[in-house]
Amino acid sequence: MMDDSPAISLQCGRHRLDLSFPRVMGILNVTPDSFSDGGRHLALDDALRHAERMLAEGAAIVDVGGESTRPGADPISPQQELERVAPVVEALVRELDALVSVDTSSPAVMREVASLGAGLINDVRALEHQGALEAAAGSGLPVCLMHRQGEPRDMQQAPRYDVPVEEAVADFLESRVAACEAAGLRRERLLLDPGFGFGKTVEHNLRLLNRMERLTHLGLPLLVGMSRKSMIGKVLARPVEERLPGGLALTALAVERGARILRVHDVGPTVDAANMTWAVLKEGCEHD
Ligand code: PT1
């Protein structure tokens, strides 16, 4: 069998991320609706405690996001995004020395968080915003390029594809990798993400996961985000707070199909599911 295993580690600022086995990225939302109440100080304190817990449970990365990109969400200004994200990134770096990823499409946010010590840029718009390629290239940080169809506001209104979804996703990601390389961002700094739930029906999402091997052929590490998403809700008829078992099944399959980073809310259980799956694939419990 051909081995499509990509480069086994990524330099993320001052952290080196070993991707020779599956790693977990914990989600830290700093959108206002993700905090129950309280002032800014309480919010920052809550964010830090939540991040600390995810790291203790085995997260390798904390992904900080100030703009909601779930279906129906409206975009926000870069200024607003920075106000939410910058204090959290700064605190995670200073207090926890964490490997921080920032979920952003804004060049201004990319530049600022890189200077604050973030280690990875996670862009659901694959650096398509004006100036984003240049900002990301200049940051020196690795970048996750994600596929999406449409914008969060309306992306779930009857998504359709003219070619098999995995081909559309592979073609798009390949063209963004080429755009990155043309902008001076070397392949060695890139990760790819199929973008589950971003302009895709449940059937598209299920097919994309089942055929994710198609994306491993691009030779770059794969990141996936399926945690608590409506694809689980629709298949199992479960509300968002009851989607963990479904999510763990998806984690096992994603690891088997080549994912190296799992972006999730429930870090501890996902670390166990990923490590157990990996042990079977490697027929042993050593991490290599
Ligand atoms: C993702 C992702 C992300 N997802 C990366 N970043 C979200 N790299 C935010 C639903 O159907 O998959 N990869 N950043 C969150 N987006 C969604 C999309 C949340 C769909 C929920 C759904 O429920």
Residue 1 resides in a domain = no
Residue 192 alpha carbon to ligand 1 centre in Å: 14
> Which pLDDT does position 14 carry in this prediction?
98
- Lowest mean per-residue pLDDT among 32-41, 80-89, 238-247: 32-41
Ligand 1 mean position, distance from CA 283 (Å): 32
Give the model's pLDDT for residue 39: 58
**Tens digit of each residue's pLDDT (9 = 90 or more) over 109-148:** 999 999 999 999 999 999 999 999 999 999 999 999 999 9
Q: Provide the percentage of residues in the chain whose pLDDT is more than 70.
A: 93
pLDDT bin (cut points 50, 70, 90) of residue 34 is very low
Q: What is the pLDDT of residue 75?
A: 86
DSSP one-letter code for 189? G
In this prediction, residue 4 carries a pLDDT of 62
**Mutual orientation of helices 78-96 and 40-56 as an angle, nearest 10°?**
50
Longest CA pairwise span in the chain (Å):
56
Residue 40 falls inside a structural domain: yes
If one compares 42 and 30, the residue with the highest pLDDT of the two is 30
For residue 151, what pLDDT is reported? Answer: 85
Q: What is the DSSP string of 203-245?
A: HHHHHHHHTTHHHHTT-S-EEE--TT-HHHHHHHT--GGG-HH
Is pLDDT at 51 greater than 80 in this prediction? yes
Q: Which of 83, 105, 193, 101 is nearest to 142 (CA)?
A: 101
Average pLDDT on 238-257 reads 98
pLDDT digits (tens, 9 = 90+) for 80-95: 999 999 999 999 999 9
Burial class of 77 by CB neighbour count within 10 A (0 to 12, 13 to 18, 19+): exposed
Residue 159 Cβ < 6 Å to ligand 1: no
Pocket flag, ligand 1, residue 122 (CB < 6 Å): yes
Is residue 288's pLDDT more than 60? no
Residue 197 CA, ligand 1 centroid: distance in Å: 6
Per-residue confidence band for 155, with pLDDT thresholds at 50, 70 and 90: confident
CATH number of the domain at 183, please: 3.20.20.20
Between residues 51 and 69, the one the model is more confident about: 51
Q: Which residues contact 112 (CB under 8 A, 6 or more apart)?
A: 82, 86
Q: Is 69 in the pocket of ligand 1 (CB under 6 A)?
A: yes
The Cα–Cα gap between 25 and 5 comes to 20
Is residue 3 included in any domain, yes or no? Answer: no
43 alpha carbon – ligand 1 mean position (Å): 22
Contact 227/26 with Cβ under 8 angstroms?
A: no
Q: Which residues of 142-175 are buried (b: 16+ CB within 10 A; e: fewer)?
A: bbbbbbbbeebeebbeebeeeeebbebbbebbee
Q: Give the residue numbers marked as catalytic.
A: 229, 263
Least confident segment among 20-34, 42-56, 78-92, 266-280: 20-34
Number of domains present in the structure of the chain: 1
Structure confidence at residue 255 as a pLDDT band (50, 70, 90): very high
Range of the domain at 211: 9-286
Question: Is 258 near ligand 1, meaning CB less than 6 Å away?
Answer: no
- The pLDDT of residue 140 is 98
Residue 144 alpha carbon, nearest atom of ligand 1: 8
- DSSP β-ladder status, 9-12 and 15-18: antiparallel
Atom of ligand 1 nearest to the CA of 228: 23
Q: Does the pLDDT at position 36 exceed 50?
A: no
Query: For the residues 60-66, what does the mean pLDDT come to?
Result: 97
Q: How confident is the model at residue 209 (pLDDT cuts 50, 70, 90)?
A: very high
Q: Is residue 58 part of a domain?
A: yes
- Which residue's CA lies nearest to atom 4 of ligand 1? 225
CA distance 82 to 172: 28
Beta carbon of 71 within 6 Å of any ligand 1 atom:
yes
Is 201 a pocket residue for ligand 1 (Cβ < 6 Å)?
no
User: How far apart, in whole angstroms, are the C-alpha atoms of residue 134 and residue 96?
Assistant: 29
| 4 domain-assigned | no
Comparing 17-26, 46-55, 67-76, 202-211, the range with the smallest average pLDDT is 67-76
The residue whose CB lies within 8 Å of the most ligand 1 atoms, and thus the one to mutate among 33, 69, 222, is 69
Is residue 2 domain-resident? Answer: no
Average pLDDT over the chain, rounded to an integer: 94
Kindly give the distance from the C-alpha atom of residue 64 to the centroid of ligand 1, in angstroms, as a whole number: 13
Contacts of 137 (CB under 8 A, 6+ apart): 180, 183, 184, 185
